[in-house]
Amino acid sequence: MPKVDYALRETASNLTRNFTITLASIMTVVVSLALVGASLMLRQGVQNATRRWQGGIEFVVFMNPNASQDQTDTVKKSLDENPQIQRFTYVNQKASYVEFKQLFHDQPELIKSVNASDLPPSYRVVPVNKTEKNIDQLGKTYGSMPGVKEVSYASATIRAVQELSQRLTVGIIVVALVLLGAAILLILNTIRMAMFARRREIEVMKLVGATNWFIRVPFMLEGLIQGVAGALLAVLALASFKPFFQSWLPNRQDFPLVSGFALSGRELFTIYALMIFTGCLVGVVGAGVAVTRFLDV
Amino acid sequence: MIRLEQVTKTYKGSVAALKDADVDIQKGEFVFLVGPSGSGKSTFIRLLNKEETPEKGRIFVAGKDIGELSSWKVPFLRRNIGCVFQDFKLLSNKTVSENVAFALEVIGRPRHVIDTQVPAILDLVGLGHKATSLPNELSGGEQQRVSIARAFVNRPLILLADEPTGNLDPATSVGIMRLLDRINKTGTTVVMATHDRGIVDTMRRRVIELDRGSIVRDQSRGVYE
């Protein structure tokens, strides 16, 4: 296939001709996508660590694992009838076990030693009035009911962590978007320069009847390669720095609240795939704008 | 082969480059376009391979109304039209044979076709022995031969030449004209814009004279004036 051969040769020579400017656009893609990836990881990590406390849940009423059905129903009825309670969900032992496995997925020996029947079923409660005093009062009411093992509260720390991660994520994403915009413009200009360097060839190609796509493909490929190369480097950087970042986190024995601040392989894969997709998109958009804007036939 | 019907082309903010032009050129004809600078010769040529579009009138090339041609089909129109220019438009980083091969490569001709066609066409223009030279190692006349080889290697139906001898001395020009004449004898329609009185007067072919965009004379076996 002379066409494929031609496209690859031209792309390679374009990439090396403007090596420094190509490097600049790749580096911008790397930095911006690494930021996107890191903030997604942070968000997912915090979400995993505070899974129990999402959606405004302020306290959890844990029943005794061996509480009678009667006792469980009484608590449910009381929650149902209390006007102070906005809503609540019941998590049975099976669901608790699934969540437990998620939280401690990196400690298989712990999971092995626990059965579903060892875990307490619980009510997760969202009160109407979220002042500390009110929550405290409600918690005490339910803590004294028969069959209830304990009531645990969403501590201020967890709220702070959640809020911080949310703000950090937004901030980082904004910076990353600006950088991605810069990356698109850089790729666009790199390709514009490549087209300028080849303007005589392009002129001749048009004269002898090369199709528009034949002329465009090497430039599109050039943009795509820059985007993908940047994304792959960003993934590589995050993957190799992950253990390093994780060592910063407080030891889970000292700080049980953030236990389970970890990402499953699947979550990581999704984040990496998203980064590579974004890299492709950035490259193709930059190159696409360049060829349609500056390669009129 | 080529027909213009009431074709008018005006560039922004200027007088008409071509006004109500009616021309009919048969297959295998050799036509000179003459007239002073700015009379519309280049516009005439640029309209034929759709580098420009007229705002009025219709242009037929090889039986097709090229005004109806969608933009993705324009390259295929151009494969039937070879172009030669005053400034050659050769690629300085490619050798003579690479320059000619390039024209076939970018329209997707297979390697074995390129490898047989290129030496053959270089022999035809008399540059078989300079195949590995770079354009700036050649004389002006030789460079123009390379550009003619590139325009003709794909055996187009039509050859457009915009002042091909404009940069050449009279003796060299004669050689180029002999070559174009030979190409014309193979059945290729040749349209050549020129200022060269001597060439037009010795060749005695059809002459179309333009003046400020209007066709003022269309004469078979004509002279420059």
pLDDT at A247: 66
Q: Domain with A88 in it: what CATH number?
A: 3.30.70.3040
Q: Find the closest chain B residue to A204 by CA distance.
A: B89
- What CA–CA distance (Å, rounded) separates A212 from B156? 20
pLDDT at A256: 46
Confidence of residue A257 (pLDDT cuts 50, 70, 90): very low
Looking at the fold, whether A215 and A277 belong to one and the same domain comes out as yes
From the centroid of its chain, how far is CA B140?
17
Tokens of A294: 């500056």
The whole-number average pLDDT for the span B193-217 is 93
Q: Which of A156-170, B18-32, B66-80, B207-221 has the lowest mean pLDDT?
A: A156-170
Yes or no, beta carbons of A209 and B77 under 8 Å apart: yes
Yes or no, beta carbons of A204 and B91 under 8 Å apart: yes
pLDDT at B31: 96
| Secondary structure (DSSP) of B67-135 | GG--GGGHHHHHTTEEEEETT----TTS-HHHHHHHHHHTTT--HHHHHHHHHHHHHHTT-GGGTT--G
Q: Are A297 and A216 in contact (CB under 8 A)?
A: no
pLDDT at B104: 94
What are the tens digits of pLDDT across the range A9-48?
888 888 888 888 889 999 999 999 999 898 888 888 777 7
Tokens of A21: 């400017």
Confidence of residue A258 (pLDDT cuts 50, 70, 90): very low
Tokens of A258: 């953030």
The alpha-carbon gap from B222 to the nearest alpha carbon of chain A, in Å, equals: 30
Q: Which of A23-32, A46-55, A198-207, B188-197 has the lowest mean pLDDT?
A: A46-55
Yes or no, beta carbons of B103 and A208 under 8 Å apart: yes
pLDDT for A230 beyond 60: yes
A128 touches chain B (CB under 8 A): no
What are the tens digits of pLDDT across the range A56-103?
677 788 888 777 888 888 888 888 888 878 888 888 888 888 877 777
Beta-carbon contacts of residue B16 (< 8 Å; ≥ 6 apart):
B8, B9, B10, B40, B212, B213
Q: Which of A123-132, B61-70, B118-127, B145-154 has the lowest mean pLDDT?
A: A123-132
pLDDT at A2: 57
Overall domain count for chain A? 2
pLDDT at A255: 45
pLDDT at A297: 53
Nearest CA to B222 among B123, B203, B186, B84? B203
Looking at the fold, whether A167 and A256 belong to one and the same domain comes out as yes
% of chain A with per-residue pLDDT over 90: 26
Q: What is the gyration radius of the CA atoms in chain B, in angstroms?
A: 17
Yes or no, beta carbons of A209 and B79 under 8 Å apart: yes
* Chain A interface, best mutation among B61, B77, B81, B106, by max A CB count within 10 A: B106
Looking at the fold, whether A43 and A188 belong to one and the same domain comes out as yes
Looking at the fold, whether A194 and A278 belong to one and the same domain comes out as yes
Looking at the fold, whether A175 and A288 belong to one and the same domain comes out as yes
A197 touches chain B (CB under 8 A): no
Query: Rounded mean pLDDT of chain A?
Result: 82
Q: How many Cα atoms occupy the beta-carbon half-sphere of A223 within 13 Å?
A: 29
The whole-number average pLDDT for the span A284-296 is 88
Confidence of residue B127 (pLDDT cuts 50, 70, 90): very high
Tokens of B198: 């001597």
Among the partner residues A6, A200, A209, nearest to B78 by beta-carbon distance = A209
Yes or no, beta carbons of B108 and A214 under 8 Å apart: yes
Q: Domain end: A153, A180, A207, which one?
A: A153
- What CA–CA distance (Å, rounded) separates A205 from A208? 5
Looking at the fold, whether A36 and A169 belong to one and the same domain comes out as yes
pLDDT for A234 beyond 60: yes
For residue A206, list chain B residues with Cβ-Cβ distance below 8 A. 75, 78
Tokens of A26: 């790749």
Among residues 3-22 of chain A, which lie with CB inside 8 Å of chain B?
Answer: 3, 6
Yes or no, beta carbons of B105 and A6 under 8 Å apart: yes
pLDDT for A254 beyond 50: no
pLDDT at B121: 95
pLDDT for A287 beyond 60: yes
Yes or no, beta carbons of B91 and A207 under 8 Å apart: no
Q: Are A259 and A56 in contact (CB under 8 A)?
A: no
Looking at the fold, whether A123 and A201 belong to one and the same domain comes out as no
pLDDT at A159: 72
For residue B101, list chain A residues with Cβ-Cβ distance below 8 A. none
pLDDT at A223: 93
Among the partner residues A200, A208, A212, nearest to B107 by beta-carbon distance = A208
pTM: 0.74
Looking at the fold, whether A286 and A171 belong to one and the same domain comes out as yes
Q: Domain end: A153, A181, A204, which one?
A: A153
Yes or no, beta carbons of A204 and B89 under 8 Å apart: yes
The whole-number average pLDDT for the span B191-205 is 93
Residue that wins the pLDDT comparison between A108 and B65: B65
Looking at the fold, whether A138 and A215 belong to one and the same domain comes out as no
The alpha-carbon gap from A205 to the nearest alpha carbon of chain B, in Å, equals: 7
Q: Domain end: A129, A153, A177, which one?
A: A153
Q: What residues make up the domain containing A106?
A: 57-153
A208 touches chain B (CB under 8 A): yes
pLDDT at A249: 58
- What CA–CA distance (Å, rounded) separates A274 from A265? 14
Nearest CA to B121 among B133, B130, B108? B130
Confidence of residue B191 (pLDDT cuts 50, 70, 90): very high
Residue that wins the pLDDT comparison between A89 and A285: A285
A203 touches chain B (CB under 8 A): yes
pLDDT for B190 beyond 90: yes
From the centroid of its chain, how far is CA A173?
11
Looking at the fold, whether A69 and A144 belong to one and the same domain comes out as yes
Among residues 261-280 of chain A, which lie with CB inside 8 Å of chain B?
Answer: none
Question: Which residue do the tokens 């004036």 mark?
Answer: B225
The whole-number average pLDDT for the span A46-56 is 71
Q: Find the closest chain A residue to B113 by CA distance.
A: A2
Looking at the fold, whether A212 and A262 belong to one and the same domain comes out as yes
Looking at the fold, whether A227 and A201 belong to one and the same domain comes out as yes
What burial letters (b/e) apply to A95-125, b meaning 16+ CB within 10 Å?
ebbeebeebbbeeeeebeeeebeebbbbbbb
